Amino acid sequence: MIRKLRDTFRDPTTALPVLGTVIGLALVGAGWVIQGSSYVPGLLQQFGSALVMLVPLLYLGNLLEKRMRRTEEQARAISHDLARVRSDVAATAAMVDALRATNRDDVERSAQQRSDAFADARRSLSYGAVARVLAEAAAISAVAPAGLRVRLGRGDARLRMPPPGDGDLRPTVERAGGEPIAVLTWRPGEDAGALHERVSAAVGVEPGDLADAYLHTLVEALRTAVAGNTGELPVSLGPVLEIPNDEWVVAADGLHCLKRPYDISRERLLDRREDWPRYMGDKDWVTPPKFAEAYDVAVALLS
């Protein structure tokens, strides 16, 4: 007990107020002794004045202390929330990085699968190889739902190859304007020769008179359609219907240029008030016969 009192009075923050209080009481007692009872009114007045000043100060100090304590608690809560937010942001960033890596791996894997599929189709123009690249193109809407058309030999006849369904492929031999000539069947397990015989019969020529390069053209057209819908080309292509030449692509949404980013929407292309062959013939980067060919095919198919 004595040690605690001694330690307390050694602390200046405690000793000075106590010493000041003792001295003040001694001065009040001395004044009472000297002046007697006449000292009481002045003393009471001084005590009253002190209370008038002290009580509001004590109240304000207590209020300020509470507010400071509440502010400190809020600051600690905010600091805790910020730490939690930082942790959540770090976790989200890690998740995003993981998703990006996963998506990048998926994209690279899909690209490699498509590349392998087209390599197989170039080597073997069988039902399975062609159906696979058709499915790859249809999966990313690179070809129109009605199918992709290629020219049959040097004539005007076309072969339209639709995306594969659950079983056989059902290609259509049709005229340049889209009028069907015959609906054929290409069954799983069959090679290009089986389809070639049916195409030749539909066109009305001997199998030897119709070159079978149209299947190679089909595979390359599918590759161009995929490249134009996956960012592999400097131009963007819609769902491709036909590629009449090396400058223009007819798609379900209009006409697209292969040489530079230039598109003509389906609505404007079919607007008869616009003379597109004359307008495009004035451009130095356009080959008029090739545009005229693509324009005629596009109008026939899209209208």
Dump pLDDT digits (tens) for 108-117: 777 888 889 8
3-state secondary structure 70-104: HHHHHHHHHHHHHHHHHHHHHHHHHHHHHHHHHHH
Given this model, what pLDDT does residue 154 score? Answer: 78
Find the range with the poorest average confidence among 35-39, 84-88, 123-127, 292-296. Answer: 35-39
Q: What is the mean pLDDT of residues 212-226?
A: 92
Residue 239: pLDDT band (50, 70, 90) is very high
Given this model, what pLDDT does residue 110 score? Answer: 77
The answer to whether the CB of 235 falls within 8 A of the CB of 261 is yes
Dump pLDDT digits (tens) for 276-291: 999 999 999 999 999 9
- The candidate with the shortest Cα–Cα distance to 117, out of 136, 104, 97, is 136
Residue 303 has pLDDT above 80, yes or no: yes
The answer to whether the CB of 224 falls within 8 A of the CB of 153 is no
Q: Residue 283: left (phi > 0), alpha (psi -120 to 50), or beta? A: beta
Dump pLDDT digits (tens) for 144-158: 999 999 999 878 899
Report which DSSP code applies to 155: S
For 258, other C-beta atoms within 10 Å of its C-beta total 18
Q: What is the mean pLDDT of residues 127-134?
A: 92
Distance CA(26)–CA(21), nearest Å, equals 9
- The candidate with the shortest Cα–Cα distance to 120, out of 107, 104, 106, 134, is 134
Task: For the chain, give the percent of residues with pLDDT over 70.
Answer: 77
Given this model, what pLDDT does residue 162 score? Answer: 94
Given this model, what pLDDT does residue 36 score? Answer: 65
> Which residue blocks in 124-246 are alpha helix, DSSP H?
127-139, 192-203, 213-229
Given this model, what pLDDT does residue 180 score? Answer: 93
What strands, in cross-sheet order, belong to the sheet with 240-242?
Answer: 180-183, 172-174, 158-161, 148-151, 240-242, 248-251, 254-257, 263-265
Given this model, what pLDDT does residue 66 score? Answer: 84
Residue linked to tokens 């889209």: 178
Contacts of 85 (CB under 8 A, 6+ apart): none
The answer to whether the CB of 234 falls within 8 A of the CB of 261 is yes
The answer to whether the CB of 242 falls within 8 A of the CB of 144 is no
Given this model, what pLDDT does residue 40 score? Answer: 66
Given this model, what pLDDT does residue 82 score? Answer: 76
Dump pLDDT digits (tens) for 76-108: 878 777 777 776 776 676 665 655 655 566 567
Indicate yes or no: pTM above 0.75: no
Q: For all residues of the chain together, what is the average pLDDT?
A: 83
Q: Which long-range contacts (CB under 8 A, 24 or more apart) does 285-293 make?
A: 285/259, 285/260, 286/247, 287/247, 290/244, 290/245, 290/246, 290/247, 290/248, 291/247, 291/248, 293/244, 293/245, 293/248
Residue 22: pLDDT band (50, 70, 90) is low
